[in-house]
Structure 1
Amino acid sequence: MAGGFLWMALPLFAQRAAQQSTSPFTQQELSGPWVCRRASAVGGADSAGAALSRPGTALKGWTPAVVPGTVLTTQLNAGQIPDPFYGMNNERIPDIYTVGNDYYTYWFVRDFAHARPQHGGHIWLQFRGVNYGFDVFLNGHRLTEKTHYGMFLRAAFDITKWLAADGHNRLAVIVYPPDPPGNANGGQGGDGTIARNVTHQYVAGWDWIQPIRDRNTGIWDKVLLKETGPVRIDHPHIVTRVPGTREALGPQAPAYLEVTADLVNASGVSQSGLLSYTLEGKTVSTLVRLGAHDTQTVRLPVDTLRHPRLWWPNGYGAQPLYAIQLRFRAGGAGATPAGSVTPAAGGRAGAVLARGSVSDEAPLTFGVRELTAPWNAHTRSREIRVNGRRVFIKGGNWIVSDAMLRLSKARYDAEVRFHRDMRLNLIRVWGGALTERPEFYDACDRYGLLVMQDFWGSGDCDGRWPDPKKLEDQATRKRYPDDHDLYIRSAADQIRMLRNHPSLAFWCGGNEITPPDDILHALQDSLLPSLDGTRWFTPYSNDSTMSYNTLGGNGDGPYGIQPLETFWEHRTFPFNSEVGSVGLGDMESLERFLPAANRVVPLAGREQDSVWDYHKYIPYGHYPDAYGPATDLAGFTRIAQLLNYDQYRGLIEGFAAHAWDWYTGVIIWKTQNPWTAMRGQMYDYYLDPNACLYGLHQAGETVHAAFNPVEEKLCLTNSGDRRTVRLWAKAYSMEGQETPLLEQKVDMEVDTTLVEADLREAVDRLRAGKGIFLLVGADGVGGAKNAAGGTKGAADAEAPLSRNLYWLPDSTGHYTGLQQLQAAKVDVRIRVTSEGKAEVVLHNPGRIPAFFIRLSVTDNRGHRLLPSFYSDNYISLMPGETGKVKLEFPVSKNGLRNLCLDGWNVKKCYFRGL
């Protein structure tokens, strides 16, 4: 059976020997060992497919292949091309537009062991993602009646009758690139024609990436086998209802679960049985009768969860997850234990399942939450509510985990965890890239990151603007892609794949443009209401239904480095889907991909280095000059981290200070790079964080004390519950002399912003000569209060809630004091808490501030171990202060790990034996 994919991805199990039995309903991933070869060397589908797929056909001269992966990932793994992410190596790789599609049309072949199932069982071969078209053969038989197209349309085939009697099988897949592949002529998406396909668009190049030479042709996602009985469970769907307005803590009123699934009878005889699941000791079931080759959508009775554990976005509560197992059992409640199979009567294909036997199971993981997006009449934008509680959106734009689609559960986990550590609560998956994989959403479920998922398109390619770099006119491009039916079928398939994730918050028709009218209507009026029905849909990323632009102009932005005052006084879209700044990594980050000859200081006004330009560097302009001249690249990147921290802390502080007045949300453009770009990132391609991440971490405190640089007043924001806090401020000279400025009690309501004391006179006087350190904060006074005014939680009196350090320039705008700052020493105590985890206590015993200390876990050669996670970083300690940092890090191969400490005025040193 060919066509749209048939069910959600399930847990994997190890490959079995040819005649070995195994538990049913599990999946086997067909990853390595695949081999591949260019199709022009062995023949196309019609001439070579049958022969290549016969076990025993010689495969001399074939290359070990990376599956999941692409042609380029295979070539890189085999040493056939240089690393395209290093220097200008990408220029040494043939581009598909120049060499033609045949150059990247490849056969992929894999032998696997699997016996034919007994007693009417079925084996299903699943492709979770191929770019762009493919034909597939098994044991000399063609499975695709016609070529399967579409990067985002899964496919499944019943291969039961084609499996070899001896269990030794061969699979051969020929993969065709997107056609047309697009001319990578320097435009956004090249000449735009890549968008004629239902595929991702960035592969022809963008203002943050160079073109991917094979356009990511290959079997880019998992290939799986699953065994079932004659009745298969497809497209399980769960909707959770959480009426009313809830709080994260305390007892909960009931929630309600609505579960549906498609049941498919693959046999030629009728089948009957129970579809059921069990949750917290209670079984919910319904009796179903299926005719021969029948498919039914089955709705189970609504279940009441009496004491639900609710799922919340990051910063608003916990993220508990539930797991159930949908099961179809023949004949109603039988005596056969769950998970076992009773052979069908007579053991013949198409036989009726024996009473009590299980035909299929489908696991389903979910979080209990209800999300709505009402219109805020004051801001004139959407506001996001989770379980009735409004959530101020602090998000990041996401491209893709790896531009060459080297996707993995571990990398997804690390990247989403970084977003959690930035104290963001939403990731927008940008429309010029992918519908992300279930493993990405799994990570968002765990870490509480809501997701805005764009469908595939961007105004750059799809005709929002006239563009001289585009091959076709604006009207033609507005009708992209060529095959609207393929797009609609692909969208339906991806909705089914992702809709059960609690992190999925809303859908978006595309980046800065709507899809063609018929596609838009299909999404908005048909697919989403019928297949999902619980999430808000916006036609495009800055549509007026999302955020009404009352200000004229673009409304989104600004982009690039800004005076900090901009984020406080320049009003933008009330729900801003793109606003961003710089994001250069430090010296060690740049050394990973910059050749030695190109490690130069990018001085303002000087012609930019060719490799810096190739990697899309966004200049810092004259902003570094205020910190004094940088004589080498290490010094420049050290200054860049100060600017990074300030830029993103100021961005979130400015938007959050106007929450629910000017804004309901902001999404940073952008928080990560899937290759070695030199712009807009909180961590680099190698998963090494820079100061941007910790500036966001600082600004994202639930209760946050901030300094408004425009009015020079203290600003106190609270995105949590009602509470009373002690607000305070201190100034420190560059010699460490403390001057108290403010201390007072403040009552904070839920979701409020208070502007408190005016510090202008004192701050301007103290900073005039050399600049100062301004330390502001808030401590708890008693616990947080619930809606009725009662205390809840375990907050202690005087518990620290916010501590926020600014470094302010002198009266001329220069950081003369930082340039002259004396050396400081820091006492360090390390306690290893478990394998790969430690706590570090830092103490400043002297009179000089210890400024901007970076902690790094390294191997024995001094290279950072990545990814490592820090509860805080780029830390500053005033005289007598102590700070604690929790570390989590990978285990190095030789087991030797060290802690590196390096600061603005703290000498670099290593502590052995983590």
Structure 2
Amino acid sequence: MHGIDKTNAVRRLLWASLMVSTAWIAPLSASASDSAVSYGPYNAAILAGGDGLAKPLAGASLPAGGPWTLSTWFQADEIAPGTVLIAGVGDPAQGRYLALSGGKLALRTGAGEAITGGTAVKAGIWHHALASIDGKTARLFLDGAEVAHGPAAQNAVAPVVGLAPRAGGAFAGRIAGFTVTAKALSADEAKSAAQGKPDASLINFEAASPTWPVQVKQMMGQVTPQDAWTLPKSNAAFSKPVAKPLPTGPALKADGPPGSDNNWTVGGWRLAEAPTVRGDGARISQPGFDTGSWYVATVPGTVLTTLVDRGVYPDPDHGLDNLAIPESLNKQDYWYRTEFDAPATLAGRHPLLTFKGINYAAEVWLNGERLGGVRGAFIRGQFDVTGRLRPGQKNVLAVRISPPPHPGLPHEQSIAAGVGENGGMQALDGPTFIASEGWDWIPAVRDRNTGLWQEVTLTATGPVRIGDSQVVTKLPLPDTSKADVTITVPVENLTNQPVQAEIRAGFDDVTVAKTVTLAPGSGSVTLSPAEFPQLSVKNPKLWWPNGLGEPALHGLTLTAVVTDAQGGGAKSDEKHTRFGIREVSYELSLMDSGGHVRRVEIDPTLAPGQQVVDGSHTGIHKIAGGWVSSLVPGAEKSPAVKPLEESSLAPYMVLKVNGVRVPARGGSWGTDDWRKRVSRERLEPFFRLHREAHVNIIRNWVGQNTEDVFFDLADEYGLMVLNDFWESTQDYNIEAQDVPLFLDNAADVIRRYRNHPSIVLWFGRNEGVPQPVLNEGLEKLVTTLDGTRYYSGSSNRVNLQDSGPYDYRDPSLYFTKLSRGFAVEVGTPSFPTLEAFEAAVPEADRWPLSDNWAYHDWHQSGNGDTHGFMAAMDRKLGAATSLADFERKAQLMNYESHRAIFEGMNAGLWTVNSGRLLWMTQPAWPSTNWQIMSHDYDTHGAFYGVQKAAEPLHVQLNAPDDAVAVVNNTRTAAKGLSLRARVLTVDGKTVSDRSQKVDAPVDAATVVTTLDLAAALQANGLVLVELELADAKGTVSQNVYWRVADEASTRHLNDLAPQPVTVTTTAERAGDEIKVHVTLTNTGTGAALMNKLTLQNADGSRLLPAYASDNYISLLPGDRRELTIAYPAALAQGRPKVALRGWNTQPATAVVAVP
């Protein structure tokens, strides 16, 4: 994330800015002398589907009268129907332009088509066009001969040259020598100008649709230590470190079912700073080496996690305690060491040590021998330790780990220092956690996430070892009643002789087996429906994104059995994995080899291993309104490419799963946890909260979340993943210096995670295309190692919307202007709950704003500058008088703006919008900005605004036109629904109350009526609107809005009198959870807004995680709402209770009777 707010209006703004006349520019001469002012020549190459060019002239606006001449050579690639502008001056709608009309030369002078004449020009041939006006008569010349003349009606035009502007039709071809002259050329001069056709080989044509540029600038982050007086300051002392209980368990823990003897997790690790350790790897990895002074290590985990867990440093999540931890942690190496007894059953087998994730580089030693090295945070280190591991004996494993070599210097956010840069030098290191140098959503992590951050495992096999399998599923779309499942099993013969083996595969009720003879070394075995009909699965359970169906997963067991001459056999290896039966395709606008932009659907699964899209720098072209990739020459005939007739969303991408368009709603994850504490227990509540918010897509920003559990949970919760690799913003962040290392890490990631159905797309870089050698390498890897997903070099702009905005904007703009198309990053301030903020910030620094606020990302500058949010709060609701008052007002704004982001997407669904992702949904640490939940699982107004807007069946009030729309996000039509719309004043008086029957077609936002609020707003300034949608079973969607005549009228919300709302609860046990059923009833005479429920323990502390079906609920007089809050039964301390507060609600508490 980094960038400037840009929208589809850029092109219009460019023309507008170029057309502004400035007093200091010399006026264009109206003289007829030979010294008349002349501009040009201009040369341009224009693609049919590309953009035109706009060039400012060094002169004032061209006057309405006076002589002038337009002259150019042009060569049309094709003769387009209708009128197309070739070249001219001024706004394309009002200026003076040479044009083709029905293939004939024409002159337009601002009042439409002025004159047309001659015969139709021919494509592929150079023609000369000239228009001469003497102030009274316009003459038009083609190839030196006059073909038409007429009155010289003309407007004053701005000093802007337009070359093939996109106004109606589009000229395609080349323009040579276009000039604008303040003189009316004679017929002889026109004839002379048409002599000698241009030699195109000697002309440097400017491309109107340039290809993607390479990086030309970069920043290096904090290059000198920050000025001491700008460092953040606190009124509270650092917290005292608190040690956690030591981990327990065996150093070698068997994985799998009881009796399993081929998979273990290696534990029992100890940690020491390398400078304090005497001895090399050979000595350290021998029994008897003294580690009594070493720390008991937290593995998986980083060095800093261990040091915090052991009580060396305070928890950096809190306050400014990160400043109590030295930067020296990222400037030294570390030793990890463990001792374990290897099972005697390993004798005669082939053991393999696997390091699932080490950051950044490591040397590995076992029993005094160096096994090798690992570089990069995302590649597995795998070592065959046959002959080196000692079965039935004690073994010693030692690992020396080095941090990223370019850790950079931290910028510590404060009010005085501002937000600082995003990252810096560490980007040089490529595949690592580049955000750990510090970004505008986390401070610098002191160890830069160095350590054994993922598991270490030991596996044992016979002579045949199974590698990373690939499961490809194909559906005969749109038919989903059958799925072809093809399984490719990489196998390795570990002996020096041929081996006969049977490769077995089983999932659900399907089993297949194939006997093969394996030569020494690596190979692969393919199990396909062509050979095994049972792999054509009837009525398969499909994997669907959240909200469209169940994300069904299938467990696959692969077994290699080595057979003998007598037909017997012994199991050599067995692997278990999961896959989903699903097929992903993409609607895109792509440029073909003829320069036309075609709207097509790309389904890579239909042509595995075949590259059909060219995403190289030379394959990406600028067009009007954006950038597009290209079709590889001849790809139009590929089975993976299907032409589309409908193009309203061009050039933006549409994601399709199983043939169904998916409205992509979700957000980016900068990183799951800034210290890479990524156990399933820690991460699963975040995934569940995303599902509860009704989002269906998350983005693995810069690949910072690339670990097993992330993709496992995304699969299980039906969350599609846009998966980045490890470079960030072009022309801002430094590019990786070791491309081979980067590609090695990328290849391992693709092989490792390609079976996860949640991954739907690979991005090469955040906000920009990687350097050519890396971009083309990544595209090739995705094609060859995956072959079922689309690769795009950039996470934005190329068939996508640009990034941003990230600061507060008027919520109505999300309906009309902001983040249209497929927008991967849109953010707005998102202050946490009062309780979450108080848990993260010491009391002395909570109010008023302090450096602690700034350190926890309440930015005073940069992309996320919160001044606009606070100024809007002051204008709309009045200045906050305390922290509690600020939080109360912030939650109302959070709810309103986040609801508007996704309701705005709904309003233009499938017409102008196909996807919208927040920056961001996941909090990497206790932040105050860009999140819909807190680091401790608390959920605030932003979460419930998203949950409301993205609900499966939804009713909403569009802005600014007050149209009422019913949104159906499901795959089932809803008919005969009842819609009720009530409008009330702030004192509870009914302005209107009407009902009607409506239908909700599948996958659509349907406007069913429009509310006329003008008179009520004029009379009252502010009204409350409640929309309720119901089916035969009851309410399916309810939504309350406050509509205002002007921004200042929002202050009428302060006039709402306190209202009594009753809270009643019942509870039930559901497996490991307690479900609390809550009923809220507004028994008052006025509206009660933003009723917020907090589940608490008996002592008043928050009970988290808690999963509420609704919250921040607004109730009109007499309204009754039911919701459910679920929580893990094991977490409750005493009898839980539900606390209620709201905008104008009298606080209340209800104790929960748990059965």
TM-score bracket for the superposition, by shorter chain length? 0.7 to 0.9
Post-superposition Cα deviations, 1:251-304, rounded to whole Å, max 9, x if no partner, equal: x51111011111111223322121112234332121121123x21111012211
CA displacement 1:445-491 (0-9 Å, x = unmatched): 111110000010101xxx514xxxx8xxxxxx4xx322111111110
Give the secondary-structure state (helix, strand or coil) at the position aligned to 1:161.
coil
- Measure how far apart 1:614 and its partner are: 1.6
Give the CA deviation at 1:913.
Answer: 4.3
Q: State the superposition RMSD in angstroms.
A: 2.5
Alignment deviations for residues 560-609 of structure 1 (CA, whole Å, 9 cap, x no partner):
1111111111144511111111111121111111111111144xxxxxx2
Deviation of 1:770 after TM superposition, in Å, equals 6.5
Please state whether the residue corresponding to 2:938 is helix, strand or coil. coil
Among 946, 950, 955, the alignment partner of 1:705 is: 955
State the 1:402 CA deviation: 0.7
1:359 paired residue among 572, 576, 581: 572
String of CA shifts for 1:338-365, please: whole Å, max 9, x gaps.
xxxxxxxxxxxxxxxx922111111121
Q: Establish whether residue 769 from structure 1 lines up as the match of residue 1013 from structure 2.
A: no
Secondary structure of the 1:558 match is coil
Relative distance call for 1:698 and 1:268 in structure 2 (3 A) is: same
In the other structure, the counterpart of 1:296 is: 523
Q: Which amino acid aligns with 2:441?
A: W
Shift of 1:185: 4.5
Mapping of residues 554-569 of structure 1, within 5 Å: 555-569=802-816
Q: Check whether the contact 2:765–2:793 (CA below 8 A) recurs between aligned residues.
A: yes
Per-residue deviation, 1:179:
0.6
Q: 2:984 matched to which residue of 1?
A: 732
The reply on whether 1:436 has 2:706 as its aligned counterpart is yes
* Unmatched segments (≥5 aa) in structure 1: 1-12, 247-251, 335-353, 471-476, 550-554, 603-608, 781-796
Match of 1:449 in 2: 719
- Can you give the 5+ residue segments of structure 2 that lack an aligned partner in the other structure? 1-248, 413-419, 530-534, 589-598, 600-646, 860-865
CA drift at 1:378 = 1.9
| C-alpha distance in structure 2 between counterparts of 1:637 and 1:76, whole Å | 31
Change in CA separation of 1:50 and 1:764 when aligned onto 2, cut-off 3 Å: farther
Alignment of 1:86-101 (within 5 A): 86-96=318-328, 101=331
Would the aligned equivalents of 1:24 and 1:227 in 2 still touch at CA under 8 Å?
no
The Cα of 1:804 is off from its aligned counterpart by: 0.9
Residue 840 of structure 1, CA deviation:
1.9
Match of 1:254 among 482, 494, 514: 482
Asked if residue 67 in structure 1 is aligned to residue 308 in structure 2, the reply is: no
The aligned residue for residue 38 of structure 1 is 273
Contact kept, 8 Å, 1:116 with 1:163, in 2: the verdict is no
- Counterpart residue number, 2:685: 414
Alpha-carbon distance, 1:56 to partner: 2.1
Maintained 8 Å contact 1:120/1:230: no
Letter in 2 for 1:750: V
Give the equivalent residue in structure 2 for 1:612: 853
Note the alpha carbon deviations across 1:503-548, whole angstroms, 9 max, x for none. Answer: 1111001101212211211111x2111111011111111142x22x
Change (3 A) 1:77 1:280: closer
SS at match of 1:182: coil
Name the aligned partner's letter for residue 739 of structure 2: H
Q: Is the 8 A contact 1:870 1:886 kept in 2?
A: yes
Are 2:731 and 1:464 equivalent residues in the alignment? yes
Kindly indicate whether the alpha-carbon contact (under 8 Å) linking 1:25 and 1:361 is maintained by their aligned counterparts in 2: no
* Count of residues paired in the alignment: 819
Rounded Cα–Cα distance in structure 2 between residues aligned with 1:225 and 1:50: 21
Mapped partners of 2:564, 2:963: distance in 1: 70
Q: What is the distance in 2 between the residues matched to 1:153 and 1:175?
A: 14
CA separation of 1:394/1:767 partners in 2, compared to 1, >3 Å: closer, same or farther? farther
Aligned mates of 1:819, 1:648 — CA distance in 2: 24
| Cα distance change, pair 828–764 in 1 and its aligned pair in 2 (3 A) | farther
Report SS of the residue matched to 1:760: coil
Post-superposition Cα deviations, 1:626-666, rounded to whole Å, max 9, x if no partner, equal 22443210111011111111011011001111111112111
Contact map agreement 1:285 1:301 (CA 8 A) in 2: no
What residue number does 1:787 align with? none
SS in 1 for 2:467: strand
Match of 2:280 in 1: 48
Question: Aligned pair 1:879/2:1117, yes or no?
Answer: yes
Is residue 137 of structure 1 aligned with residue 370 of structure 2? Answer: no
TM-score (norm 2): 0.68
Report what 1:793 is aligned to: none
Corresponding position: 1:155 with 2:394: no
Residues in 2 aligned to 1:116 and 1:482: alpha-carbon distance in whole angstroms = 45
Question: What is the match of residue 659 of structure 1?
Answer: 909
Indicate how the Cα distance of structure 1 residues 579 and 183 shifts in structure 2: closer, same or farther if over 3 A, else same: same
Partner residue in 1 for 2:494: 266
Is the contact made by 1:75 and 1:81 (CA closer than 8 Å) also made in structure 2?
Answer: yes
Give 1:83 shift. Answer: 1.8
Q: Tell me if structure 2 keeps the 8 A contact 1:276–1:326.
A: yes
Residue 656 of structure 2: aligned partner: 385
Deviation, structure 1 residue 157: 1.1
Match of 1:829 among 1062, 1065, 1070: 1065
Q: Residues 199 and 739 of structure 1: is their aligned pair in 2 closer, same or farther, counting only changes over 3 Å?
A: same
> How many Å apart are 1:17 and its aligned residue?
8.9
Tell me the distance in 2 between the aligned counterparts of 1:869 and 1:754: 30
CA shift in 2, pair 1:753/1:100, >3 Å: closer
Partner of 2:694: 423
Map 1:100-249; keep pairs closer than 5 Å.
101-102=331-332, 105-118=333-346, 120-144=348-372, 147-185=373-411, 187-245=420-478
Which of 1070, 1073, 1077 matches 1:839? 1077
- CA deviations 1:224-255 (Å, max 9, x no partner) are 11122221110111111122125xxxxx5111
Partner SS, residue 836 of structure 1: strand
Distance of 1:120 and 1:639 partners within structure 2:
69
SS in structure 2 at match of 1:443 = helix
Question: Equivalences for 1:880-895 in 2 at 5 Å?
Answer: 880-890=1118-1128, 891-892=1130-1131, 894-895=1133-1134
2:330 and 2:448 in contact (8 A); partners too: no
**Residue 311 (structure 1) aligned with residue 543 (structure 2):** yes
1:682 is aligned, of 918, 929, 932, to 932
Provide the rounded CA distance (Å) in 2 between the counterparts of 1:595 and 1:739: 47
Moved more, 153-162 or 508-517: 153-162
Between the aligned partners of 1:875 and 1:511, the Cα distance in structure 2 is: 37
Give deviations 1:807-837, integer Å, cap 9, x for gaps: 3346542232444323213141322334433
Which of residues 1046, 1050, 1059 in structure 2 aligns to 1:814?
1050
Residues 314-355 of structure 1, C-alpha deviations (whole Å, 9 max, x = no match): 111111211121111122899xxxxxxxxxxxxxxxxxxx92
What secondary structure does 2:884 align onto?
A: helix
Distance 2:705 2:575 in 1: 22
In 2, Cα distance between equivalents of 1:628 and 1:861? 34
Shift of 1:115: 2.4
Counterpart selection for 1:750 from 991, 1002, 1006:
1002
1:539 counterpart SS class: strand
* Further displaced range: 81-90 or 740-749: 740-749
More strand by share: 2
Post-superposition CA distance 1:685-730 (Å, at most 9, x none): 1111111111011001233221123112222323333332333211
Give the distance between the partners of 2:777 and 2:424, measured in 1 at CA.
28
Letter in 2 for 1:359: S
Distance (whole Å) between structure 2 residues aligned to residue 190 and residue 645 of structure 1:
31
Tell me the percent identity: 32
Counterparts of 1:309 and 1:14 in 2: how far apart (Å)? 39
The match for 2:744 among 463, 477, 489 is: 489
**Which stretch has the larger CA shift, 825-834 or 500-509?**
825-834
TM-score (norm 1): 0.86
Deviation at 1:403, TM superposition (A): 0.4
1:899 is matched with which residue: 1121, 1127, 1138? 1138
- Is 1:511 paired with 2:766? yes
CA distance, structure 2, for counterparts of residue 764 and residue 65 of structure 1: 69
Amino acid aligned to 1:29:
T
Aligned to 1:77: 309
